[in-house]
């Protein structure tokens, strides 16, 4: 059949199960947009390409499918970069389509030409410049295969205009993907599984350190089974929220820089640490030499390069987390209780719960808003976040029951991620309530996507915890820079309610504690439009506990008593 390159592209995307593309048109993407005009694939027109990348990312994290975004060449493509890096750091499967100038113009500094392959080399799992229309089908297939298997990540397909325009005789012969240097990981080393099981069965003070790999692998059920069978307490990373039910009696909450005291104590005291789908990030380990100093460490991860990267491992297990846990569970002894260890942890939990003080000026405490969100949604909503204090509070004061319900930029720490990601998540899961917990700084980084959410009637709720500061940086300036609040005061800001209304969204301002719950209830009823809630919160509340940079996990500030 005679088909244009762009038509072949869309045909192949459909075959990969793509039902929605987040994108923004432009000159060199014209052939693709022309083909989209007739395609059953839905296209969401964002207001800035960064929004497209984050929305595709949110869609992918919420659904487990590969997200797709599309931009034109040059500035369109470069505007995607932050979104690509965000997805790369958090191992999110994404296929990024970029228009490119025609083949004969490449390398001539043509109008809107940018070397997006070169620019994105260190932040993509792989990338292709599609040079021939004949290669489109094969490379689309390879791109999805690479993006979605093993440790997932973004793959860029750069599409020169003439390659998309050219008509060829196309026959879809459904070739199998065969890439010499890339094999899907199968199986785990049985000897290592036995060694791990023996170590766990002998342990007196075991802890599971659970991360995003469990969610990606779909191993939450196995994790729960393992923890409950062997009665092992579980602490989750920021990326692992939802991998283990937050209300479970074995749950320790988050560990690390803003982890719970009891999680950090448990890590420091444990004799066997079972690290599952994690990468020993510096925000988790704090000072490396003092991380789990008494423990033998088992590390299960699909990415061999993560094993032994930061911490020496006693039992490395390279492979899919789900497969590894399935192999491990039958070898674990069923335990009734680990009385002494569990008692110690219960004592820590009772003595050092997460807590926060009262507002000095009768303002709303930001943590209180998050507690109310949890009370009203009971872990049945998808929560996205921006980056900063509100992000940490969202991890601390909300519990997550299910995988894929907490979407946050953990690795790159991208302000402006949460709102477009919420749009993507809501489109992936229209049945779920989706709430973006935001700060007044972060929300302004992609607030233009209100236009998108209103146009497509995507009823996400934005909860701005508005302290008129870049709060996390202010907190550090307060603690470590003698209170010199250098350029973190954001008192000058728009009227968020009016701004929301100008876009056609619902705007609400909440300034009193007693209105928090009713306002949230009202927002949860709105199903046809986005709602922006502007909570005026305590200006100088800090995130505690906090491990100061360069310290060990035991050196936590705050959270010892009611301050």
Task: Rank residues 272 and 321 by Cβ distance to other proteins and give the closer one.
Answer: 321
Do residues 262 and 198 touch, judged by C-beta distance below 8 A? no
**Binding-site member from 118, 191, 362, 549 for other proteins (CB under 8 A):** 118
Least distance (Å) between residue 119 CB and other proteins: 11
- Pairwise CA distance, residues 17 & 95, whole Å: 12
d(C-alpha 425, C-alpha 58), whole Å: 5
CB of 361 to other proteins, least distance (A): 47
List the one residue from 42, 305, 380, 457 that touches other proteins (CB under 8 A).
305
Phi, psi of 228 (to 5 degrees): -75, -35
Please choose, out of 251-259, 271-279, 304-312, 542-550, the segment that lies near other proteins by the rule CB under 8 A: 304-312
Under the phi-then-psi rule, with left for phi > 0, alpha for psi from -120 to 50, and beta for the rest, what region is 253?
left
Q: How far is the CB of 96 from other proteins (least distance, A)?
A: 15
Minimum distance between the CB of residue 111 and other proteins, rounded to whole angstroms? 24
Q: How far is the CB of 124 from other proteins (least distance, A)?
A: 10
117 binds other proteins (CB under 8 A): yes
Q: What x/- string results for residues 366 through 385 when contact with other proteins is judged by CB under 8 A?
A: --------------------
Q: Residue 180 CB, nearest distance to other proteins (Å)? A: 5
Which runs of consecutive H residues, i.e. helices, occur in 401-533? Answer: 418-428, 450-455, 471-480, 496-503, 516-525
CA quadruple 94, 91, 219, 191: dihedral sign: positive
Does residue 485 touch other proteins according to CB under 8 A? no
279 binds other proteins (CB under 8 A): no
Q: Residue holding tokens 């998540």?
A: 425
Least distance in Å: CB of 507 to other proteins? 43
Among 168, 182, 490, 515, binds other proteins (CB under 8 A): 182
Q: Find the shortest distance in angstroms from Cβ 150 to other proteins.
A: 9
**Tokens found for residue 349:** 């939990």
* Strand pairing class (126-129; 154-160): parallel
Q: Which is nearer to other proteins, 44 or 129 (CB)?
A: 129
CA atoms of 118 and 141, how far apart (whole Å): 22
Residue from 121, 184, 247, 288 touching other proteins (CB under 8 A): that is: 121
**126 touching other proteins, by CB under 8 A:** yes
Only segment of 115-123, 241-249, 433-441, 528-536 that touches other proteins (CB under 8 A): 115-123
Give the whole-angstrom CA distance, residue 328 versus residue 519. 47
Q: Is 457 in the site for other proteins (CB under 8 A)?
A: no
Examine residue 308 and tell whether it contacts other proteins (CB under 8 A): yes
- Quick check: 189 and 321 in contact, CB under 8 A? no
Nearer to other proteins, 354 or 412 (CB): 412
The alpha carbon torsion through 523, 524, 528, 530 (nearest 10 deg) reads 50
- Does 168 bind other proteins (CB under 8 A)? Our answer is no
Q: How far is the CB of 214 from other proteins (least distance, A)?
A: 21
Does 304 engage in binding with other proteins (CB under 8 A)? yes
81 binds other proteins (CB under 8 A): no
- Phi and psi at 493, nearest 5°, equal -145, 165
Q: C-beta of 198: minimal distance to other proteins in Å?
A: 25
> Considering the rule CB under 8 A, would residue 180 count as an interface residue with other proteins?
yes
- Whichever of 153 and 366 has its CB closer to other proteins, that residue is 153
- Min CB(311)–other proteins separation in Å: 11
Do residues 283 and 254 make contact, with C-beta atoms less than 8 angstroms apart?
no
Stretch that binds other proteins, among 2-10, 88-96, 114-122, 349-357 (CB under 8 A): 114-122
288 lines the binding site for other proteins (CB under 8 A): no
Which ranges constitute the DSSP H helices of 149-275?
161-165, 190-202, 212-217, 220-230, 261-269
* H or E segment and range at residue 397: helix 389-397
Q: Which stretch, 94-102, 119-127, 256-264, 446-454, contacts other proteins (CB under 8 A)?
A: 119-127
Q: Which is nearer to other proteins, 146 or 381 (CB)?
A: 146
Rank residues 3 and 94 by Cβ distance to other proteins and give the closer one. 94
For residue 297, list its beta bridge partners.
273
Residues in the chain: 563
Give the H/E segment covering residue 62.
Answer: helix 49-63
Instruction: Identify the helix (H) or strand (E) that includes residue 341.
Output: helix 339-351
Residue 81 CB partners (closer than 8 Å, separation 6+):
119, 120, 123
Q: State how far the alpha carbon of 54 is from the alpha carbons of 73, 144, 154, 299, 462, in Å.
A: 18, 18, 12, 30, 16
* Residue 122 in the binding site for other proteins (CB under 8 A): yes
In the complex with other proteins, the residue whose CB is nearer, 143 or 395, is 143
Among 75, 190, 249, 309, binds other proteins (CB under 8 A): 309
Taking the least distance from each CB to other proteins, the nearer of 182 and 476 is 182
Q: Which stretch binds other proteins (CB under 8 A): 179-187, 280-288, 351-359, 399-407?
A: 179-187
Q: Dihedral angle at the C-alpha atoms of 42, 46, 49, 51, nearest 10 degrees?
A: -100
Residues with Cβ within 8 Å of 440's Cβ and at least 6 positions away in sequence, in order, are 464, 465, 466, 467, 468, 469, 490, 493, 496
Does residue 146 belong to the site contacting other proteins (CB under 8 A)? Answer: yes
Half-sphere exposure of 85 (CA within 13 A, CB side): 16
Q: Where are the beta strands (DSSP E) in 58-93?
A: 67-71
Which chain residues interact with other proteins by CB under 8 A? Answer: 117-118, 121-122, 125-126, 129, 146, 179-182, 303-305, 308-309
């Amino acid at each position: 059949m005679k088909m244009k390159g762009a038509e072949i592209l869309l045909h192949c995307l459909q075959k990969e199960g793509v039902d929605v593309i987040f994108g923004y048109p432009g000159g060199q993407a014209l052939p693709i947009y022309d083909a989209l005009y007739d395609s059953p694939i839905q296209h969401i027109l964002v207001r800035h390409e960064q929004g497209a990348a984050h929305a595709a990312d949110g869609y992918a994290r919420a659904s487990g499918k590969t997200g797709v975004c599309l931009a034109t060449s040059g500035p369109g493509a470069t505007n995607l970069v932050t979104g690509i890096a965000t997805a790369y750091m958090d191992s999110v499967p994404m296929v990024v389509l970029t228009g490119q100038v025609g083949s004969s113009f490449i390398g001539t500094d043509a109008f809107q030409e940018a070397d997006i392959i070169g620019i994105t080399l260190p932040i993509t799992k792989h990338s292709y410049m599609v040079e021939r229309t004949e290669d489109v089908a094969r490379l689309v297939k390879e791109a999805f295969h690479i993006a979605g298997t093993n440790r997932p990540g973004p793959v860029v397909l750069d599409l020169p205009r003439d390659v998309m325009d050219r008509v060829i005789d196309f026959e879809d012969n459904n070739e199998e993907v065969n890439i010499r240097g890339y094999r899907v990981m199968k199986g785990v080393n049985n000897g290592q599984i036995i060694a791990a099981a023996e170590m766990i069965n002998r342990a007196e003070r075991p802890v599971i350190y659970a991360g995003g790999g469990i969610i990606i692998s779909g191993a939450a059920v196995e994790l729960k089974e393992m923890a409950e069978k062997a009665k092992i307490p579980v602490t989750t990373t920021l990326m692992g929220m939802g991998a283990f039910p937050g209300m479970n009696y074995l749950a320790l909450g988050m560990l690390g820089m803003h982890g719970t005291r009891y999680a950090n104590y448990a890590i420091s005291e444990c004799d066997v640490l079972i690290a599952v789908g994690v990468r020993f990030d510096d925000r988790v380990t704090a000072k490396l030499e003092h991380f789990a100093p008494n423990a033998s460490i088992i590390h299960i991860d699909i990415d061999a390069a993560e094993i032994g990267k930061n911490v020496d491992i006693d039992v490395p297990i390279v492979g899919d987390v789900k497969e590894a846990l399935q192999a491990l569970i039958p070898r674990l002894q069923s335990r009734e209780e680990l009385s002494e260890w569990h008692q110690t942890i219960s004592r820590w939990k009772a003595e050092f719960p997460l807590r926060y003080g009262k507002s000095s000026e009768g303002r709303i405490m930001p943590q209180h808003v998050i507690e109310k969100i949890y009370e009203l949604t009971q872990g049945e909503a998808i929560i996205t976040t921006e980056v900063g204090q509100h992000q940490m509070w969202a991890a601390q004061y909300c519990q997550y029951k299910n995988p894929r319900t907490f979407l946050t930029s953990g690795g790159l720490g991208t302000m402006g991620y949460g709102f477009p990601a919420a749009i993507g998540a809501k489109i992936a899961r229209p049945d779920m309530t989706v709430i973006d917990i935001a700060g007044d700084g972060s929300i302004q980084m992609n607030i233009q996507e209100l236009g998108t959410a209103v146009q497509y009637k995507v009823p996400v709720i934005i909860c701005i915890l508005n302290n008129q500061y870049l709060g996390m940086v202010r907190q550090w300036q307060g603690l470590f820079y003698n209170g010199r609040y250098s350029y973190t005061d954001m008192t000058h800001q728009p009227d968020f309610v009016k701004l929301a209304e100008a876009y056609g969204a619902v705007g609400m301002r909440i300034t009193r504690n007693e209105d928090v719950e009713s306002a949230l209830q009202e927002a949860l009823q709105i199903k046809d439009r986005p709602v922006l809630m502007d909570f005026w919160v305590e200006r100088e509340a800090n995130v505690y506990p906090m491990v100061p940079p360069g310290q060990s996990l035991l050196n936590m500030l705050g959270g010892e008593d009611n301050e």
